[in-house]
Chain A
Amino acid sequence: DTGVSQDPRHKITKRGQNVTFRCDPISEHNRLYWYRQTLGQGPEFLTYFQNEAQLEKSRLLSDRFSAERPKGSFSTLEIQRTEQGDSAMYLCASSSDGQGPYFGPGTRLTVL
């Protein structure tokens, strides 16, 4: 499978805990995106990387959220001190010139 992969697929955590998600983009894609989708809504943009540089961040990305793409390949999204409002599907996508963005299957986060 050469699509975008995300790990884990599901995460249940207690309020106040930290969580980290991983995204592996399509190998030749230099652009990587994170989105958040809540039930019944369209995805909302969180952040965008070109190679290892984080070039766009949404105002939705509070100080508790941080994303990295240290070597321009995989990316991680960390949420600190989780709140119940963070419960959502976290989607990763990748693209290159003329291709995509293509989305991964998502990580469903439930904060109890």
Chain B
Amino acid sequence: AQSVAQPEDQVNVAEGNPLTVKCTYSVSGNPYLFWYVQYPNRGLQFLLKYITGDNLVKGSYGFEAEFNKSQTSFHLKKPSALVSDSALYFCAVRDTGRRALTFGSGTRLQVQP
């Protein structure tokens, strides 16, 4: 079985400050991990993914994520938040040999000016 937990329903951060959105996962084999962002009434936009290799993955719009196998975490980070980053962020995982993604419940990021 594969599962994802996003422990924070909402994260508030001031513009210009660093941001972190947390994600932990559970899989039987090796994880494939993803981050997506969703703006109101829009589909999901791909930010980045981890398959293998470097634990620090760089993605779109200045976002990056750090894979930590011992903590089974894949936290999303950005050095300096923008008001336009305010949106709903989803972490997703799939196990080796499967194609279905399991998504977390989402974290709403609010960046205040």
Measuring CB to CB, which residues of chain A are less than 8 angstroms from any residue of chain B? 4, 31, 33, 35, 40-45, 48, 50, 55-56, 58, 91, 93, 100-106
Contact = CB atoms under 8 A, between A and B. Distances in A.
A58 B100 contact: yes
Nearest to A43: B103
B100 A43 contact: no
B73 interface: no
Contacts of B106: 40-42
B36 A103 contact: yes
A48 to B, nearest CB: 5
Given A42-B90, A42-B105, A43-B90, A100 B100 contact: no
Given A48-B99, A56-B100, A91-B44, 5 more contacts: A4-B43, A33-B101, A55-B99, A101-B101, A103-B45
A100 B43 CA distance: 14
Nearest to B9: A40
A-B interface, 9 closest residue pairs, ranked by CB to CB distance from nearest: A42-B103, A45-B100, A103-B44, A105-B43, A103-B43, A48-B99, A106-B43, A43-B103, A42-B90
A31 B99 CA distance: 9
Interface of B: 4, 34, 36, 42-46, 90, 92, 98-106
B98, B99, B106: most-surrounded residue (chain A CB, <10 A): B99
A105 to B, nearest CB: 4
A21 to B, nearest CB: 13
A42 B2 CA distance: 14
Nearest to A45: B100
A106 B90 CA distance: 16
B36, B90, B100, B102: most-surrounded residue (chain A CB, <10 A): B100
A2 to B, nearest CB: 14
